[in-house]
Structure 1
Amino acid sequence: MSKIEQVLSKYNLDITDEEVKDAVKKIIAEKVHENDTPEVKKFLMGSVELTTLKTTDSDTSVLAFTEKVNKFEEAYPDLPHVATICVYPKFAKVVSETLEVEGVEVACVSGSFPSSQSLIEVKTVETSMAIKDGATEIDIVMPVGQFLEGDYETVVDEIQQQKEACGEHNMKVILETGCLKTAKNIKIASILSMYAGGDYIKTSTGKLEPAATPEAAYVMCQAIKEYYEQTGVQIGFKPAGGLNSVMDALIYYTIVKEVLGEKWLTNKWFRMGTSRLANLLLSEVIGEEVKFF
C-alpha cells in the first residue's frame, strides 16, 4: 500500500448516504430544540466569520466593513464580538491596519479561491503575501478536480505546500462538499485535508450550490472525531455557504455538540462562514430586528 492508502485504511470509509441522512434526521428531530436558547445564540454570534467576498469589494468598502466590527464592541459591550473578518488577500492590510478589537482574526481566502485552479507556485505566493500583509488565518480550497480523479498524492502535496506557506498561522481547507457528491468522498477528503496539515476543515466556498449541508457537516465531524482518536490532534470545523437562518446555525451547532462534544464548542474550534447570519442572530438575542452589519 502507498502511504496515503495506509492512512486511509485506519478510518471507517464504509458509510452510505442513507445512513448519514438517517443520523442527521434523528439529531435534528431529537436534539436541536434543546439548543434553541439565548445562551447558544450568543455563543454562535462569537463563532461567526464575518465575510465579504464580492467582486465589488474595494479598500473603501472593506474598511467600512471592518469599522462595523470596531463599533460593535462599543454598541453591544455585553455580547461576544465575531471570531473573524474574512476577505480576499488584497484586503489583508486594510483589515489588519483598521481592526481595533482584540481577539478577532484576519482570515484571507487564498490559493486561487474559489476554484483552486492555478499553479501551486501561484497559490503559495498568494498565501505568503496575505500572511505578510497581516492575515492571521488562511482559507484554501482543496484541488477538487485532482481529488475526483483519484490523484490523492497531488491533493496532499498541494495542501502541504500551502500549509508551509502559512507558517505558524492556522489554515482551513475548503472541501467544496457539493462537488464531492457522496458521504464516502467527503470522509476521504476530510481525512486527506487533516493529514496534509489543515488546522480546520470547511464545507464550502459559498460560490457553488449546494453549499454547506447538515449531512456533509455530520460526515466531516465524524472524520474529525476519528482523526482526533487516531492522532490526538484537534481539528476545527467550519460550515460556510448557505447558512441563511438562525435555525441553520442551531442545526450545525447541534451536530458539532452531538458528534464532537463540548470540547469543540468554543469560537476557536467551531466557526461559521457567513455575513447575513450575524444580523439574524443579533436580532434574536436583542429581541427586535437589527441590521448592524
Structure 2
Amino acid sequence: MAEKLNNQQDENKYEKALSLYNCEVSDEEVRDAVRKIIAEKVHENDNLEVKKFLMGSVELTTLKTTDSEDRVLAFTERVNQFDEQYPELPHVATICVYPCFAKTVSETLEVDGVEIACVSGSFPSSQALIEVKVAETALAIKDGATEIDIVMPVGKFLSGNYEEVADEISELKNVCGEKKMKVILETGCLKTAANIKKASILSMYAGADYIKTSTGKLEPAATPEAAYVMCQAIKEYYDKTGIQIGFKPAGGLNTVMDAITMYTIVKEVLGEKWLTNQWFRMGTSRLANLLLSEVVGHETKFF
C-alpha cells in the first residue's frame, strides 16, 4: 500500500511539473511561426560571421558500424591538424563517438577546448536494462568522455510512463555528475508538438544539461518545427527556474542553410545568451566541410 502511494506521489510530481507549462501546443501554430521566422529572419544571418560561429558549434560526429580504432584516431587527428592549418577559425566544439572509442580520442586529441562526447545508454534505441546504461555511461566517463549523450526511453514516454522516463534520466545524470549530459528526444518518433514539448520539460526537469533533437538514425530528424518547440520549452524553463539549458539539433542537417535556419530559431526564440558554442551545438559530420568551404571560398573536404 505504501509503495503504491509513493508511486502515485511520483506520478503526481511529474504531472504537476508538466502542468506548469503550456504543453497543449498546436502543430499548425508551430508551422506558421517557423514559416514566419524563415521568411523574415533567416536572410539576416546568411553571412560569413555566422558561418564561422557555426563551425565552432559543430559536434564532429562519427557513429558508424564501420568505425574502428584506426578510423577514430585519424578522425581525431584531423581536428588536431585543423587547429594548425586554420588558426584564425574556431575549432569544432566537440568530437562525438561511441563509448568504446573515448580512450582513443582522449589520448589523441591535442586541442584545448574541444569536448569529448560519447553516445551512451544503449544508443540509439535506449532499449536496455538501466544497469547496462549506467555501466556504459560510467565506463565512457572513466575513459575520458567529458560529455554524455543519452536517448530518452521513447517507448516509455509514448506509453505515458513519465515517472520511469524521468527517473532513468535522473539516474544517468547522477552517474555523469558534473559532466554535461544531453538527452536525445528522437523527435521524429514523438510526432506532435505537444509530445515534443512534454518530453523537453520532463528531460530538463530530470537533469538534462542539453536537450537534443535526434539520434540521426531515424527520419525525420532535426526539423525546424521540432527545434522551435524545444527552444520554446528551454525558454519557459529558464524563465521559471533560472536554469539555462543547452540546445543541440542533430541529424538531417544537410546544408549550410539548414544550419543557418537552426541558428536563426535559437536567436529569435532564446536570444543572444544562447549564441555561444557552450549553449548551442550541432551534431553532424558532413556539415563541417560545407561550412568550411563557404568560409574559405572554395570547396574543401578537410574532415
TM interval, short-chain normalised: over 0.9
Match of 1:46 in 2: 56
Equivalent-residue separation in structure 2 for 1:178 and 1:199 (angstroms): 21
Report the identity percentage. 81
Deviation per residue, 1:145-186 (Å, 9 max, x gap):
000000000000100011011111000000000000000000
SS of match in other structure, 1:18: helix
Query: Is residue 243 of structure 2 the alignment partner of residue 214 of structure 1?
Result: no
Partner of 2:220: helix, strand, or coil? coil
Secondary structure in 2 aligned to 1:153? Answer: helix
Amino acid at match of 1:219: V
1:112-142 deviation line (CA, Å, top 9, x unaligned): 0000000000001100000000000000000
1:28 aligns with 2:38: yes
Counterpart selection for 1:162 from 156, 172, 175 = 172
SS at 1:256 equivalent: helix
Q: Which residue of 2 aligns with 1:147?
A: 157
Q: Distance in 1 between matches of 2:177 and 2:239?
A: 25
Following superposition, which runs of at least 4 residues in structure 1 exceed 2 angstroms of deviation? none
After superposition, the C-alpha distances for 1:4-24 in whole angstroms (9 at most, x for unaligned) are 111011101121100000000
Corresponding residue to 2:79 among 69, 72, 91: 69
Aligned to 1:199: 209
Q: Does 1:112 align with 2:132?
A: no
Tell me the secondary structure at the aligned position of residue 156 of structure 1.
helix
Consecutive unaligned residues of structure 1, counting only runs of 5 or more, are none
The corresponding residue for 2:254 is 244
State the alpha-carbon separation in 1 of the partners of residues 239 and 20 from structure 2.
Answer: 11
- Separation of aligned partners in 2, 1:180 and 1:65: 33
3-state SS in 1 of match to 2:90: coil
2:5 corresponds to which residue?
A: none
State the AA in 2 paired with 1:197: G
TM-score (normalizing by structure 2) = 0.96
| Partner of residue 135 from structure 1, selected from 120, 134, 145 | 145
Tell me how far apart the structure 2 counterparts of residues 32 and 223 of structure 1 sit (CA, whole Å).
21
DSSP 3-state at the match of 1:86: strand
Q: 1:182 and 1:6 mapped to 2: Cα distance?
A: 21
Other-structure match for 1:93: 103
Q: Which residue of 1 aligns with 2:274?
A: 264
Secondary structure at the aligned position of 1:109 is classed as strand
Separation (CA, whole Å) in 2 of partners of 1:13 and 1:142: 18
Q: Distance in 2 between matches of 1:218 and 1:106?
A: 27
3-state SS, counterpart of residue 257 of structure 1: helix
3-state secondary structure, aligned to 1:77: coil
- Separation of aligned partners in 2, 1:26 and 1:62: 41
Deviations 1:243-269 (A, max 9, x none): 000000000000000000000000000
Distance in 2, Cα, partners of 1:262 & 1:10: 25
Alpha-carbon distance in structure 2 between the residues aligned to 1:246 and 1:189: 28
Paired AA for residue 254 in structure 1: T
Task: Show the counterpart of 1:183.
Answer: 193
Matched, 1:291 2:291: no
1:99 maps to a residue whose letter is L
Secondary structure of 1:168's aligned partner: coil
Work out the CA distance in 2 between the residues paired with 1:92 and 1:223. Answer: 31
Which one of 69, 81, 89 corresponds to residue 91 of structure 2? 81
Aligned CA RMSD, in angstroms, stands at: 0.6
Match of 1:232 among 242, 245, 255: 242
1:172 and 2:177 are equivalent in the alignment: no
